[in-house]
Chains A and B, each alone.
Chain A
C-alpha cells in the first residue's frame, strides 16, 4: 500500500469536531490523566543481544508485560471505569461494570473496578482455564460462565447490563478503552526523549488482535511524531484478519473455517467498526509471522531480556527479528531505532516451553 496516502490523514491534535474517528489525541491525554498513579509507567528496556538478532537495529522495548494485571489492557479498563466514576452522583451504590472476555481484559476490568471501589461481572466461556478464572476472582469480580459461543457471551453480558444497570466495557471497541491503550506510546515517546543520546523512534511495532492497542497508539504516534514514524502492526499469520483487511481496504473477519489455532491467544479477536478506520488510515503496514517465529522470539525474550512475555507479545519481536518482508521494506540503515511494544506477560511458561520443544526450538 502506498504509504504516502497516510500522510494526508494525519491526526491533528484537536480535530474532535472532525469526528472522523471514535477518539482523538485529546482523549488519550485525558486518559493519561485518569490512569496516573494507578497504572504503572512501565520501563523501557534495551538488549544488546536482541539488537544483534535484529540485524544491528536498536530496539526499545516498552514492557507492558510489567503492567498491573500483566498486560496493557489495564490502561483502557481504568480509563473506562474512571470516566464513569467521575460522573457518579450517588456514592452509596456501587457502580457496576460488565464485559465478556476470558483473557487479559477480564483481569484488567476486574482490577480496574476494584481499585475504583466498583464491581465488575465478567462473562466467561465455560472452557476458560481455571487459572484465568482464579486471577479474575482474586481481583474481586464475579464470574458468570456461559457456552463458549460469541452469541452466548454477548447475550449474557447484555442481560447483566440491563439487570444491574452496568456499564458494558468492550475489550477493544470501547472508545475509552482505545484511548487508554494509546497512553502506551505517549509514555514511550517521552521515555525515549529522556534517554541520553537516543534519537527519536523511526518505527514502532505493535501487535494487533482486536485493534484497541494498535488504534489507540496510531492516534498517539501520529499526533506526536506525525509522518516521521512508521507504524507497523504485527499479527500471527494464523490470525490474519487485520492483514487481509488492510490489503483489501475493507473490514474482513476471520475465515469461517479458521480454527484460530495460534499460540498468540491474546490476538484471536478481530477488528471492529471503531478500531478498523483508525488502523486503515493511520497505520503504515501490517506484517504477519508464523507460529515458529513467534515462539522463537518469545523464548529469546525470556532468555535474553529476562522478561516473561506471552507469545502475543513475541509477535512484534518476531517481525523485527525474522520477517524478511520487514527487513526489505524497512532496512536497518533507514530505520535504525525502533520501538516494540511487549503487550503482555500472562503466560503458562511450562506449557509454552513444551510447545517450543515440540517445534524444535532450542
Chain B
C-alpha cells in the first residue's frame, strides 16, 4: 500500500525529477547524449515528502535487520569471510572480506530484494512487483519474485547490456523495454502501478531493502565474534556507496553489534554525491558520473539512507577508476575471485586510508565485497590495462 501511495504521490513530482542534458557516461554501448537520467543504473522514484528533514521517515532499526536475517535464513547464502595473508602483510592491518560476490545472483542486492518482497501481502504479490534498473537490483528482484511465486516486471532501456537482460529474464523477470531518448520510464512505471496495481520496489531507499542489505554486515560481525576468529572486533568497516542501501544497513548492524567500529563509505571520485551530501548536510544530486563502477552511478542517495548515514557513518572517501582496476586484478590473481568494479570500492578505500595513515597499523578492518557481476569480455577489457 505504501509503495502504491508513493507511486501516486510522485505524479506531481515527476516534473521535478531531474533531467540532465549534461554529460552521460558513454559505456560499452554507444549512446547519443541523453536527455534523461536513464544511465543511472540505480535510480528510484523520489519518496515524496513535504520537507527534506528526517521527520516522518520510516527508518529501519537493527531489529529490522535481525528480522531480515530470519527471513533470509536458508535462502540467501551465508557467504564466506575471506582473508589474505599477503594483503595483511602489505598493508599492516588485518582485513576481513565479506564475499557478497558469492551471494545468490552475484551480489548483496538479493538480500534486500528478497526481504522487501517477503513483506508484501498476498494480494500485493499477486498484483506483481515492478522496478527499473539494468543492474543488480533488477536481477535481485527477478530472482526473489520467482522464489516467492510472484511476477516481476523490470523496465529496462533498449540498449541495456544483453547479459543483464538475459540474466534478468533468466530469473523469470518480465522485461519491458523503453527508448531512453524518447520515452519516460517514470510514466511507464506509474501507468503499470495505476492500471495493474503493481508494487514498486526501490533499489535502496526502502526500510526492508536496507534491513536486508544490513544482514551482510551482521553476518560478518557475528562470524568475526565467533571462536573461529578468536572473537575479533572490527575497528573499521569499509562499504561501497551507491544509493546508500548497503552502507546504511551495515551501519545499523555495526552500531548494535560493534559500537566502536567506524563505518566508512567509499565512492568513485566522479560520483561522490554521498560525500558531498554528508558535507553539506543535505542530499546533493549530481549528473550520472563517468566511472567503471556501474553499481555506484546513482545520482543521489536516498532519504532514508542519508538519514542513517548522517547518524552512523564516520565519513566517505573516494577512489579513482585506476584504483578499482588495481583491486580487480588483486582479487583475481591473489584471491581467485571475480569482483566487479563497484565491488572493489571497499578495498580501494581501505588501501588509500592506510597509505594516508588515517587507518593505523594493526587495525582490524572489515570490507564488504558487494558483487561479482561483470561479464568476461568486460573483465578482460578492464584488467588488461
A: which residues have CB within 8 A of B? 43, 45-46, 48-49, 63, 65-66, 68, 70, 196-197, 299, 302-309, 345, 349-350, 353, 356
Contacts and interface: CB of A to CB of B under 8 A. Distances in A.
A297 B104 CA distance: 19
Contacts of B383: 349-350
A164 to B, nearest CB: 28
Interface of B: 74, 77, 80, 82, 85, 101-102, 104, 106, 170, 332-333, 335-339, 372, 375-377, 379-380, 383-384
Contact of B380 (A65, A306, A349): A349
A70 B384 contact: no
Given A306-B102, A308-B333, 5 more contacts: A306-B106, A306-B337, A308-B336, A353-B376, A353-B380
A197 B75 CA distance: 12
A308 B337 contact: yes
Contacts of A305: 102
Contacts of A304: 106
A67 B49 CA distance: 52
A270 to B, nearest CB: 27
A149 to B, nearest CB: 31
A306 B101 contact: yes
Query: By DSSP majority rule, is chain A's interface helix, strand, loop, or mixed?
Result: helix
A68 B101 contact: no
Given A302-B376, A303-B375, A303-B376, A350 B384 contact: yes
A299 B336 contact: no
Given A43-B80, A45-B102, A306-B101, A350 B336 contact: no
A296 B80 CA distance: 26
Given A299-B376, A307-B338, A349 B332 contact: yes
B336 A309 contact: yes
Contacts of A70: 336
A65 B82 CA distance: 13
B346 to A, nearest CB: 16
A196 B85 CA distance: 30
B90 to A, nearest CB: 12
Given A68-B85, A306-B372, A353-B380, A46 B336 contact: no
B332 A66 contact: no
Nearest to B340: A306
A307 B332 CA distance: 8
A48 B376 CA distance: 19
B104 A307 contact: no
28 contacts: A43-B80, A63-B336, A65-B336, A66-B335, A70-B336, A197-B74, A299-B376, A303-B338, A303-B375, A303-B376, A306-B101, A306-B102, A306-B106, A306-B337, A306-B339, A306-B372, A307-B102, A308-B333, A308-B336, A308-B337, A308-B338, A309-B336, A349-B332, A349-B380, A349-B383, A350-B383, A350-B384, A353-B376
Nearest to B372: A306
B182 to A, nearest CB: 31
Contacts of A48: 104
Contacts of A356: 376
Contacts of B338: 302-303, 306-308
Nearest to A346: B336
B376 A345 contact: no
Nearest to A65: B336
Contacts of A45: 77, 80, 102
B379 A349 contact: yes
Given A303-B376, A349-B380, A308 B332 contact: yes
